[in-house]
Amino acid sequence: MISAGDFRNGVTLEIEGNIYQIVEFQHVKPGKGAAFVRTKLKNIINGGVVEKTFRPTEKFPAARIDRQDMQYLYSDGDLFHFMNTESFDQIALNSDDVGDALKFVKENEMVKICSHNGNVFAVEPPLFVELDVTDTEPGFKGDTATGATKPAVVETGATVYVPLFVEIGNKIKIDTRTGEYLSRV
């Protein structure tokens, strides 16, 4: 059981039969009246965000989230196929469960599959990936004083904004949480 006074970002709770992850929290002590905790909670099943307030003494059961390393095999139409590399069990998830998580992930890369009571609700890509640039416009000499960027398409088909010196065929490092260019490899 987790009391509202011990809330932290990223903690997963079970509230009124739903599973929520704490996005933001704030302890509020008004001049008059009792203290309370203002939170922003994300429903991990449907993705909705709600704001709720709690008394600091309220307690909630912690939800057990299982994160399992799996290999992304391939996609065929609307299904994405994953394999457990230890037991070789395979699962297929539809595009609603996957969302944009595989935007920067190539086939045969490892990802984390997040589930609660056997129900998969999210796919977590690796934090950083290295991908080849397949298409971008050439940068112009002398146009680098402002730190300008240009769009580049990487081998997974996603578009990333890169500095002007990046060319087709370069391998770049990308932060999958923000989709930002980090460096050339």
Instruction: Give the sheet arrangement for strand 128-136, strand by strand.
Output: 159-163, 149-154, 128-136, 171-175, 180-184
Q: How far apart are CA 9 and CA 11, in angstroms?
A: 6
| pLDDT tens sequence across 59-107 | 999 888 888 899 999 888 888 899 988 888 888 888 777 777 788 888 8
Question: Is the predicted pLDDT of residue 45 greater than 80, yes or no?
Answer: no
Please say whether the dihedral angle defined by the alpha carbons of residues 95, 97, 100 and 105, taken in this order, is positive or negative.
negative
The yes-or-no verdict on residue 18 having pLDDT over 80 is yes
Q: Class assignment of domain 66-124? A: mainly beta
Q: Give the model confidence (pLDDT) of 103-157 as tens digits.
A: 888 888 899 888 887 778 778 888 898 999 999 888 766 655 667 888 899 988 8
User: What is the CATH topology of the domain spanning 128-184?
Assistant: OB fold (Dihydrolipoamide Acetyltransferase, E2P) (2.40.50)
**Under CATH, which number does the domain 2-60 receive?**
2.30.30.30
More confident of the two residues 13 and 100: 13
| Burial readout 101-112 (b: 16 or more C-beta within 10 A, e: otherwise) | bbbbbeeeeebe
Q: Where in the chain is the domain with CATH 2.30.30.30?
A: 2-60
User: What single-letter amino acid sits at 112?
Assistant: K
